[in-house]
Amino acid sequence: MFEKLGKFIVKRSKIVLLVFILATIVAGSVGSLAFGRLDSGGYSDLNSESAKAAKYVVDVFGAEEPVAVMVVDSPDLLIDDPSVASVATEIEKKIQNHTGVSKTLSYWSTGGAPTMKSVDGKAGFILVYSDLEAFDWDALGSLGASLQEEFDGKYKNLHVFASGAGVITHAINHKIEKDLVLAESIAIPLTFLLLLFVFGALVASATPLFVGVTAILGSFLIVYLLTLFTNVSVFALNLITGLGLGLGIDYALLMVNRFREELHHGHSVEESVVTTVATAGKTVFYSGLTVFVTMASLLFFPLEFLKSFGYAGVAVISMAVLGAVIALPALLAILGEKTDKGVVRRSAITPKEDGRWARTARNVMQRPIPVVLACLVVLGILAAPIGNISFAQVDSRVLPASDPAAIAAQVVDTRFDGLIGSPIEVVAPNGVGNETEINAFLEKVKAVKGVVRVGKIETYGKDIRVQVISSEPSRSTSSLQVIHDIRNLDKPSGVLIGGAAADFTDSQDGIARTLPLALGWIALTVLILIFIFTGSIILPIKAVILNAMSLVATLGAITWVFIDGHLKWLVGDFTVTGTLDTGSVILVAVVVFGLSMDYELFLLSRIREEHLDGKSNVESVAVGLQRSARIITAAAMLLAVVFAAFMTSGVTSIKMLGFGVSLAVILDATLVRAFLVPALMRLFGERNWWAPQWMQRFTLKH
């Protein structure tokens, strides 16, 4: 099939390339419409108990979440002092007149509600509400930003701190957007310089950018079409950019290297293109397929935030494979030997038949057991800190400690004994008439560790609502325990537990429930695909185990850095919270596993090719490593640069993504592919290629 595709592309190279370029331009033009349709929320499980409670509270009781929580702080006087109250009331009236604000509630306008006063009595809340839709995060963020800009800071003899969902959402999103522009301005020039070094010629160095850009623009169209039917997170664009460039580099390196190899063996341009598509093109297709099914696992999760990365992943992988297998061969057929024009490093032009990678493989295979043990020790040391891993979700602490939103959130956390702006909601539909049982339940709630106070029963018709104030931050491990403790109480039938903390709990529990399914999907599909590609039972199992070990080592290193607080000199300063953002960890894990499988197939395809050509197990590993390790190492180095630039971000979750992916691809391309794989290939010998006779008919014919 791939040989026929190669012949078709060679015969119609100009038409194929022209159609592809025109399609890419159209896709980019239409796909740009997606930018105004993307969502900055998506962290909730919309089918959960908390989601049902939220809908009930809004629909029946007309409840609202404050878009901003303003803290008015008096440095010297108590907030009941008339001079303080006068200025605070003046501030509240100005906030009420701010565009987009529907109403406010404050310590002063409620007649001195004790829940709205700080422990030291010198600060009070002003809760700010809006008529904007609850999940319109862009609009809420814009309003939060304008409130922060106008009111955060000194006002007469008082100080105002702006916090709350709208303020924090905008602060995080805006910071990420700015930081990613900086990261890309660093990564792209560095990547091109490294491509020049790897390819050794200007023309060849542009091919990964060609594949990457076409993949990115094509993915924008797919994302736009998806926004017509579902919500897609704005952060999906960042994954598209990172993976588009990364996979463009990976696949172009493999294709161009094979094309050059065939040319330097004396074959014509046409023959070289056909062979490149039939060999490297086949590898790219199956490599892309393994990354595709791995990224598709994100679609199982209930959070739209994670689903969005799944959409982005499968879109950009599909486009990168199409660009590498169809458009790039057409370009190579047109360029021919001009691919090597603009030489800057002649030694990179001609692939070596034998060299340091082959010598490394032979040395490793001479003493496989010590090499395996040494590698396992290194991976074990890296993985050891994973015992301290703990999960939460993004909150204000992912921002730099100097950010005004982070400072304001810290004031709320440290100076108030209950989170009045984000209460736990106890909802009892048709609960009127059953107050005795509900009161008994509420007495038990009062005794739950972390509960500060239980509010009064509110009724609307036959429905009951009670607000419970917790001392624990809504998106923290401790608040998750509070919600579980409340839900584990013997509660009246039909009672729902909602609120921000319950929303966080349901999101975390939803991820935990889905994780086994996602892991099972990844393991099963990858095992099947690698078996079809290699015809071996041993190699797929070994690949999954090695990649899992590499992933555990990466998560251990992430834990050591971002939970234990090490290496700030490398990744930049951040607030140590003792937890990792669950969604970011899952994203890192899936991306890392997919890219590891990418490199695994790059290596196995060449080893398999040499083995089918009649070479011994040892020699096929040595030659296969020589011809693919340079590509794998270069691809890993380039991809590491792209993601390492994310460590310049001031947002902790983006730092973690950059550090995790960079470390993982370097670890995988060096320790795993250069040492562990050859050593294990030597230990298993010819058994590497074993499979029962009846299964042979399901394997790919090379």
Domains recognised in the chain with CATH numbers: 1-37+201-343 (1.20.1640.10), 67-163 (3.30.70.1320), 400-506 (3.30.70)
Instruction: For the chain, give the percent of residues with pLDDT over 90.
Output: 24
Predicted pLDDT of residue 181: 79
* Length reported for the chain: 702
Question: For residues 330 and 14, what is the distance between their CA atoms, to the nearest angstrom?
Answer: 7
pLDDT digits (tens, 9 = 90+) for 173-198: 788 778 877 887 887 788 878 877 77
Backbone angles phi and psi of 161, in degrees to 5:
-115, 125
Question: How are beta strands 123-130 and 153-155 bridged, if at all?
Answer: unpaired
Question: For residues 92 and 150, what is the distance between their CA atoms, to the nearest angstrom?
Answer: 12
What sign does the CA torsion over 127, 129, 134, 140 have?
Answer: negative
pLDDT digits (tens, 9 = 90+) for 588-610: 899 888 888 888 888 888 888 78
Q: What is the DSSP letter of 68?
A: E
5, amino acid identity: L
pLDDT digits (tens, 9 = 90+) for 10-20: 888 889 899 99
The residues pairing with 124 across neighbouring beta strands, listed in sequence order, are 72, 117
Question: For residues 648 and 190, what is the distance between their CA atoms, to the nearest angstrom?
Answer: 14
Residue 172, both tokens = 């995080």
pLDDT digits (tens, 9 = 90+) for 426-456: 888 887 777 788 888 888 999 899 888 888 8
The answer to whether the beta carbons of residues 316 and 243 sit under 8 Å apart is yes
Nearest-CA neighbor of 462 among 497, 490, 427, 422? 427
pLDDT band at 71 (very low <50, low <70, confident <90, very high): very high
Largest CA distance in the chain: 93
> Would you state the torsion angle of the CA atoms of residues 180, 182, 184, 185, taken in this order, to the nearest 10 degrees?
160
Question: For residues 7 and 402, what is the distance between their CA atoms, to the nearest angstrom?
Answer: 60
pLDDT digits (tens, 9 = 90+) for 204-221: 778 888 888 899 999 999
The residues pairing with 216 across neighbouring beta strands, listed in sequence order, are none
Q: What is the DSSP letter of 700?
A: P
The DSSP annotation for 638-675 comes to HHHHHHHGGGG-SSHHHHHHHHHHHHHHHHIIIIIIII
Sheet holding 101-106, edge to edge: 101-106, 123-130, 68-73, 158-163, 153-155
Predicted pLDDT of residue 90: 92
Nearest-CA neighbor of 252 among 139, 378, 339? 339
